[in-house]
Amino acid sequence: MTNICLIGDSHSSALRFGIEANGVSTRHALTYFGLHCRHVPALRIRERKVEAETEEARYELAMASGGQEMITIDSYDEFLIVGFGLYIGYVVSLYRNYRSDCMPGPTRGRYLLSDSCFLATSQRLVEGVEAFTVIRLIRSITDKPITLVATPNPGAGLEKNDMPADFPPFYAALEHGDAEAIAMIFREVCNRLAATHGVRIVPPITEASENGLFNRREFSLLTDQNIATSDPIGAMLHGSDTYGVILARSVFP
């Protein structure tokens, strides 16, 4: 039985459901550490343990793990990092003002970058997310296998006009026919970052995909009427239990 340490943010919820539903726990011993993204900068390595410098972060670590306020790296065979900002939205944000050669959409309105420049900029954007801070901490003391799971693509079904002003231009990319190209760039970014950091990255599950940049509605929390009504954007950005099931199949093939 492999001892796996799962460290994740709110996106762990769907995966956890999938892990239980798929019976993964019978093959692997999993210890969960839940942590909001904002607490990642408070993490430090001390004596081969990941510790948190703030009370709130320590509380969150202990909440899911049965009371463990720190992560003893040597206790685990593998590490599973979930979410922490690994999100296609960064590439879509770059698309607000820039496009690349591989995008078939209209040429006006966005500065043209070469494919390699768009890819390199996307990589730099994505590499700045908290997930890689966690990976660097672990990698600083062990070369044990690490799997990083990307956050799901947004669920389809909300109206473009319901999006906040800062929301990355997912809808524009779709309207202009550039969605597939952006999705392809994000997958390539994941491949490159996996090679750079010596980790395995599980990108958004293509089986759930709709139009490249979105997931079908049923794979998001938009299907939960209560959540979708109270916070439609949050519901759109989080995977459902159904998504968790197919995600768990990819993470634990």
Partner 1 sequence: MLEQTDLLVFTMGLTEAWIHREDGTVYPTAPGAIVGSYDPLIYTFKNFNYDEVLQDFLELRNLLKALKSDIRFMLTVSPVPLTATAGHEHVLAATTYSKSVLRAVAGYLAMSFQDIDYFPSFEIIAGAQARGFFYESNLRSISAAGVDVVMRTFFREHFGSVESVAETPHNEVQSARCSVAAIDALQEVFCDEMLLEAFAP
| Residue 113: strand, helix, or coil | strand
Residue of the chain from 28, 31, 37, 69 that contacts partner 1 (CB under 8 A): 37
What whole-number distance in Å separates Cα of residue 98 and Cα of residue 90? 12
Taking alpha carbons only, the member of 172, 129, 121, 179 closest to residue 150 is: 129
Stretch of residues binding partner 1 (CB under 8 A), selected from 3-11, 21-29, 45-53, 193-201 = 3-11
Q: Are 3 and 35 in contact (CB under 8 A)?
A: no
Nearer to partner 1, 142 or 230 (CB): 230
Q: How many other CB atoms sit within 10 Å of the CB of residue 191?
A: 12
Residue of the chain from 94, 119, 183, 185 that contacts partner 1 (CB under 8 A): 94
Taking alpha carbons only, the member of 149, 133, 99 closest to residue 119 is: 99
x-marked contacts with partner 1 along 168-207 as a string, rule CB under 8 A: x---------------------------------------
Residue 48 one-letter amino acid:
R
Q: How many other CB atoms sit within 10 Å of the CB of residue 159?
A: 8
* Residue 233 engages partner 1 in binding (rule: CB under 8 A): yes
* Residue 21 engages partner 1 in binding (rule: CB under 8 A): no
Nearer to partner 1, 141 or 223 (CB): 223
What whole-number distance in Å separates Cα of residue 208 and Cα of residue 199? 23
Binding residues vs partner 1 (CB under 8 A): 9-13, 16, 32, 34-38, 60, 63-64, 85, 87, 89-90, 93-94, 96-98, 107-108, 111-112, 121, 124-125, 128, 164, 166-168, 231, 233-234, 237-238
